[in-house]
Amino acid sequence: MAAPRQRGGFVTIHISTHGDVLRHTGRRMAISAGLTIVMTATTLLLHFGTDFSATVTVGYIVGFGLCIATLISAAVSGALSYRSALLMQELTLTRSELSRISQTDQLTGLFNRRGFDDAAALALTSARKRSVPVTVFLCDIDHFKSINDRFGHESGDKVLVEVADVLRQLARKEGVLVARYGGEEFAGLMVGVTRDEAEQYAEALRITCAAREIPIGENLERVTISLGFTVSCADAELSELMRIADRALYAAKRRGRDRVVQADDQSLAA
């Protein structure tokens, strides 16, 4: 059954079944008809008075009735339409908020995997039109499991938030799309930068993370990240770019962590 709910200063109707739709429609029709009758009767009484035996020409009654009916119908329709527009606005905002939530990592505030994939697809389309290269990078927090084991998952969450903050700050400065891609793994995408510029950004990210002191308990801890990236033409598919960056990331881990590896044959074989 439909039940009214208070939100944003006015009551909204929760409609979840076809019966709710019919009841809501019936109520609005009844309200519209009732208001029309009351307003018409009131206007006629005010204009003609209560002398029902008074003589008035038929043409005058017809013309006056049509004008009153039109004005009242427009007023009632406008009021109900305004109410419907408010409900539609609320629905649109709710859908927008749900979409944002579904694409956002709740812990860090960055894109989640779904949000990143959707935004990256749009960025790739733009890059193809402009014929500019695309850089994709992946990074992992080094020894993250050990952090959770030593200090607990709450401290692990704090580390994730701190690293995400580093990514967010550099992303705003450099115009990079960043996301928490899963677990302790973060992803990024840059459009229109050279390989050297991409490497400089990756190194800046690694150095900034390593330099940040994170308060955990009574101590200040430092964490490092391993990072792999690839630079390719915009015609490449996102899934393939992610696989190449992922191989570069694991190469960075094999080579001792806390380093950046480009996705070329020489570095991946090292």
Residues 6+ apart with CB under 8 A from 131: 234
Nearest to 214 by CA among 163, 178, 255: 163
3-state percent breakdown (helix, strand, coil) of the chain, nearest 5:
60, 20, 20
The partner residues of 191 in beta bridges, in order of sequence, read 134
203 catalytically annotated: no
Distances (CA, A) of 168 to 40, 59, 256: 62, 74, 26
Give the whole-angstrom CA distance, residue 113 versus residue 183.
11
Q: What angle do CA 221, 227, 231 make, to 5 degrees?
A: 155
Residue in 184, 203, 221, 237 annotated catalytic: 184
SS3 call for 7: strand
Three-class secondary structure of residue 246 per DSSP: helix
* Catalytic sites, residue numbers: 184
